Structure 1
Amino acid sequence: MAATPLDAARAWAEFTDPAEPGQRLRVDLTWLTSRWRCLFLDGCPGIDADEPDAGCCTLGAHLTDADDLARVSAVVATLGPDEWELRDPGLEEGWTVDDEDGGVATRVLDGACILLNRPGFPAGPGCALHQRAVAEGVAPLTTKPDVCWQLPVRRAYREVDQPDGTSYLEVTLTEYDRRAWGPGGHDLDWYCTNEPAAHTGADPVYVSLRAELVALVGAQAYAVLARLCADHLAAADALAAARAGAGGDAGGAVPVGPAGRGLLPLLVHPATAAAGRRTTAG
């Protein structure tokens, strides 16, 4: 099925961070309640058609800061040859490079990140850092670069000035879509977040990526976020039932509420909706 539009309408919720009263969370309910799942090693064609087995690892990973580099470096130093296919060139020639902006990134070797184990490696294909986390029974966010474990959730910051001269920090959680990669994102051969093929997860994103979301916003804010997402899904189900009861479907007439007013539509991610229609049709 074709990729869904990037500019489809979304439902948002805002709330004050329980742990940080000076900041407000703005969360994309449409994305967080979608059924996206990672298709790596399960049908992902990759962002580069020439490297389909590399998923989104063809560009390497930019380390966000000194703490990120130190944490990943500590794990890399302990990887054995049975865990990391390209360990020899990685240790001999370096596994990082300086990027054009003065930061540090993982080195790209033979078309993909040097930490990516290729098909045929005895330990199996995939990120050596991710595989280490799985082997130790810890969350992959403890071993992988920040940009890797956060994808495809995008966290953005904005200082909001209010008319009375006060301000607050707005923290947005939304989908890391093609635009988030910059202008080059539109040139990726394939990308998952708006592809119906990737919206077949058993759980919504706010559940499947719970550990990552807690790491991004904290446990207290996540608890509020999870409640809002659950309420959104319940309301969406109720609206769908009302439509069905009125003899319509998701694209039909807006059902009428108890006061005689039309019920506002609750927005399901278009790729999730498309995946659901395909499943129903099949």
Structure 2
Amino acid sequence: MPEVLLPFPRAFAEFVNPDDADEVFRIDLTWLTSRWSCIFGSGCRGIYADRPDDGCCTLGAHFADADDERRVAQAVKQLPASLWQYRAEGRRNGWVELEDEETVTPGEEPARKTRVVDGACIFLNRPGFAAGEGCALHTLALSQGRDFVETKPDVCWQLPIRRQFREVTRTDQTTYTEVSIGEYTREGWGPGGHDLDWYCTSNTEAHQGREPVYLANRAELVALMGERAYKTVRKLCREFESRTGSLLRHPADPS
């Protein structure tokens, strides 16, 4: 089935961060109540047609900051060869590389990211690997009984939820930080996002989840917002589901 075209009508709600009065959350109710779910290994075509088994792991993962990289490094130390196909390569030549200089804005330092090996992220176990295909850091978390939020790079566990910050000045000249929580659409990838051969968030094939995003992705939302803010999100989403017709539902959801 086809990918629905952007943009389309969405519903939003705003509330003050219960843990920080200087922040206001702006949440995309249309996205958070949608039935999107990750279908890696179950129909995902990958972002590039010539690498359908990679999912969105072809390009490697950029680290958000030094803390992000350090947290991943702690997880890497715990990865045995039975869970990481490229462990020998990672130990021999490292698992971090600098961003391609051609993509760097003039005057900025190249970002640090996970290495690309054999055409995809070094942590991506390929089809046929004994422990199964997919992210080795994700598999590690599952094997240890913890959430992958603790082991994967920030950009990986957040996708396709997108958190953005914006400074807002009210008409009375007071200010606050707007923290938006919404869908990581194609445009979130930058100019190259529209060149992706397949992308999941607005594709009907990936909107078959048994639970809405705000429930299925609870761990990610709590990590991004905090427990108290998440409880507010859950209440707002439930009210939206009970009161809203189809007009503001995600158009990729089953009708």
TM class by shorter-chain length? over 0.9
Cα deviations across residues 104-128 of structure 1 (Å, max 9, x unaligned)? 1000111110011111111111100
The structural deviation recorded for 1:164 is 1.8
Post-superposition Cα deviations, 1:170-217, rounded to whole Å, max 9, x if no partner, equal: 000010010000010000010000001100000000000000000000
Cα distance between partner residues in 2 of 1:185 and 1:103 = 19
> Structure 1 CA distance, aligned partners of 2:37 and 2:171?
41
Q: Deviations over 1:42-78 (max 9, x none)?
A: 1111001111111000010001101000000111122
Matched, 1:4 2:12: no
> What is the 5 A alignment of 1:91-102?
91-99=91-99, 100=101, 101-102=109-110
Name the structure 2 match of 1:19.
19
- Paired residue for 1:117? 125
Aligned counterparts of 1:163 and 1:234: Cα–Cα separation in 2? 34
Distance 1:192 1:103 in 2: 26
Instruction: Show CA shifts across 1:128-174 (max 9, x none).
Output: 00000011110100000000000000000000011222100000001
In 2, Cα distance between equivalents of 1:93 and 1:61: 17
Mapped pair 1:79 → 2:85: no
Match of 1:155 among 135, 148, 163: 163
SS in 2 for 1:159: strand
SS of equivalent residue, structure 1 residue 228: helix
- Asked if 1:202 is matched to 2:210, the reply is yes
User: Normalising by the residue count of structure 2, what TM-score does the alignment of the two structures yield?
Assistant: 0.95
For 2:91, give the aligned amino acid: L
Q: Residue in 1 aligned with 2:35?
A: 35
Q: 1:103, CA displacement in angstroms?
A: 1.9
> Which one has a bigger Cα radius of gyration?
1
Q: Which has the higher relative contact order, 1 or 2, with Cα contacts under 8 A spaced 6 or more apart?
A: 2
- Displacement of 1:17 in angstroms is 0.7
2:122 maps to a residue whose letter is I
Q: Supply the RMSD in Å over aligned alpha carbons.
A: 1.0
- Which residue in 1 is equivalent to 2:192? 184
Matches within 5 A, 1:1-282: 1-99=1-99, 100=101, 101-236=109-244, 239=245, 265=247, 267-272=248-253, 276-277=254-255
Q: Which segments of 5 or more consecutive residues in structure 1 lack a partner in the other structure?
A: 240-249, 251-264, 278-282
* Identity across the alignment (%): 53
- The Cα of 1:228 is off from its aligned counterpart by 0.3
In the alignment, structure 2 segments of 5+ residues that lack a partner are 102-108
Cα distance in 2 for partners of 1:141, 1:197 equals: 25
Q: Which amino acid aligns with 2:197?
A: D
Q: How many residues align?
A: 247
| Offset from partner CA, 1:81-100 (integer Å, 9 cap, x none) | 11111111111111110124
Aligned to 2:22, the other structure's residue is in SS state strand
Counterpart CA distance in 1 for 2:111 and 2:95 is 14
* Cα drift, residue 102 of structure 1: 2.4
Q: Secondary structure at the match of 2:198?
A: coil
Q: Distance in 1 between matches of 2:164 and 2:47?
A: 23
2:29 & 2:45 partners in 1: Cα distance? Answer: 27
Higher helix proportion (structure 1 or 2): 1
How far the C-alpha of 1:271 sits from its partner, in A, is 0.4
* Letter in structure 2 aligned against 1:164: D
